[in-house]
Amino acid sequence: MDEPRDPLLCFVDMGFGADDITTVAHAGRILIGTPTEQTLRTLAADQSLPDGIDYSAATGQVFWSNMGMPLSIPNGAVFSCDLSGSARRTILSPGVVHTPKQLLVDDRNSKLYMCDREGLRVLRCNLDGTNLEILIKTGDFSRVEERSDATRWCVGVSLSHATGKMYWTQKGPSKGGRGRIFRANINFLPGEDAGNRTDIECVLHNLPEPINLDIDEGSGKLFWTDRGELPLGNSINVVSLDQLSAIEQDSCPPSWPGKNYEVLVRNMHEAIGIKLDLRNKYIYATNLGGTVCRFDLDGRNKTTLYENKGTFAGITLAYV
């Protein structure tokens, strides 16, 4: 049997480290590399605060989200291209979404999921951008007091088809210890929509600052990055899905490692992106400090693949 091949790594440089600070708003890049070489190729340059990224094996397209500037008004967009940087397409035009963050391709159903931070929503659309739906609505972004409430900010999203559930993070204030992870059905219950759905459950709360998610369906585990304060933040974490249950946020004690979940990796320096390489049994992760790292699935054996080449956010893998 052939050994599993390494994937291509596609990841986001937000552009915050640009040499000319006046260009930061449009200095983002979509990059592609490998786990074994230090070279990087740019798929798309001059991006406006890119953040989320994923790859569709079915279409051969890389999809990414741009938050846009300024962040106070809807300026977000979603684009795609192939692995050569060609066949560039606009999936959601600037302003259709507010501040799109983690982005997820569901090739099984030809859908694209994303969190819209200041938009206070989790969204879903077809891979061509049509049929845009609001799945989760945590507030009214036209109201300044709600739009600025970081406990309402949806950031990371992942799916468990095996259980029919969607998971997302609401990160809370920076380093604030008020982050939460929620779940709901992937599809609405009959007669329900984002405004009246009754299936939303908080499953972890008072986390440092949870960001992006990924799920290993085989082991039934949810992984996430957290960019909150040390000692529990700046970390990669994991929990078994069957360990999670709905909690009463007002009466339950804070979720705590060793009891409610496990901390796998610490000292990540503003951890953001995460993607599981289940073929080779690795975790790939990024941080705003400018590194792309690889770990075993238990968090051991760290390998730094790229460093000091950008301010990195989302990451995805392409097996070709």
Contact residues for 214 (Cβ-Cβ < 8 A; gap 6+): 158, 222, 223, 224, 274, 275, 276
pLDDT in tens, 62-71: 999 999 999 9
Q: Give the residues across from 104 on adjacent strands.
A: 113
Map out the domains of the chain as residue ranges: 8-318
pLDDT in tens, 268-319: 999 999 999 999 999 999 999 999 999 999 999 999 999 988 999 999 999 9
pLDDT in tens, 228-270: 999 999 999 999 999 999 999 888 999 999 999 999 999 999 9
CATH superfamily of 8-318: TolB, C-terminal domain (2.120.10.30)
Residue 222 predicted with pLDDT over 50: yes
Contacts of range 297-302, beta carbons closer than 8 Å, 24 or more positions apart: 297/216, 298/264, 299/236, 299/264, 299/265, 302/265
pLDDT computed for residue 309 by the predictor: 87
pLDDT in tens, 183-199: 999 999 999 999 999 99
d(CA 202, CA 294): 30
